[in-house]
């Protein structure tokens, strides 16, 4: 996390640094499903970890300010939007599983587009997973996933 934000701040193009950072942290999350927990949990007894996380968070605030000042990041983007993205990304990663392992890339691409101010250069959105891959993921999720909705059997009289 600290390395990704440092690399993003070193990018001479603030918007490119911002979008690269968003993609990098979501890629870390896809590679290590416990990654988002480290970012969102508190470890008061781990002083070094807390200090490092505070430094990284402050660097993220600087990254946001740079991208916003470049005119490419929407004015209403707030740091909590990354937390929301990671929550959504966790769901896509879990649901996609091995059937659609790169589905998260498309979600992140669309979210980056939503963060862009009018006129900002927008990276291409990756292709959607194949319909068969998404179907396999949905079937697997319906069988095993938390919060999955399964159809209720209908009665003989249609009620």
Within a 10 A sphere around the Cβ of 39, how many other Cβ atoms? Answer: 16
Contact 140, 97 (CB under 8 A): yes
**What is the model's pLDDT at position 147?**
52
This prediction has a pTM of: 0.82
The residues near 82 (Cβ < 8 Å, ≥ 6 apart) are 22, 25, 60
**What is the model's pLDDT at position 144?**
76
Instruction: Give, in order, the Cα–Cα distances in Å from 34 to each of 11, 54, 77, 110.
Output: 27, 19, 25, 23
Q: What percent of the chain has pLDDT over 70?
A: 82
What pLDDT, in 10s, does the model give residues 32-70? Answer: 866 656 655 666 666 777 788 889 999 999 999 999 999
Q: Where are the domains of the chain?
A: 2-144
Chosen CATH of 2-144 out of 2.60.120, 3.90.79, 1.10.357, 2.60.40: 1.10.357
């Amino acid at each position: 996390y600290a390395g990704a934000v440092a690399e993003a701040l070193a990018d001479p193009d603030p918007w490119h640094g911002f979008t690269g950072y968003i993609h990098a942290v979501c890629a870390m999350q896809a590679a290590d499903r416990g990654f988002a927990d480290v970012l969102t949990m508190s470890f008061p007894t781990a002083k070094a970890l807390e200090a490092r996380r505070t430094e990284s968070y402050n660097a993220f605030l600087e990254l946001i300010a740079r991208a916003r000042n470049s005119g490419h990041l929407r004015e209403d983007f707030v740091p909590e939007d990354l937390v929301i993205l990671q929550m959504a990304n966790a769901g896509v990663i879990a649901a996609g599983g091995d059937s659609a392992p790169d589905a998260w890339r498309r979600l992140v691409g669309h979210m980056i587009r939503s963060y862009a101010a009018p006129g900002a250069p927008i990276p291409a959105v990756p292709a959607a997973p194949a319909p068969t891959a998404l179907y396999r993921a949905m079937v697997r999720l319906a069988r095993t996933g938390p919060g999955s909705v399964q159809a209720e059997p209908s009665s003989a009289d249609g009620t």
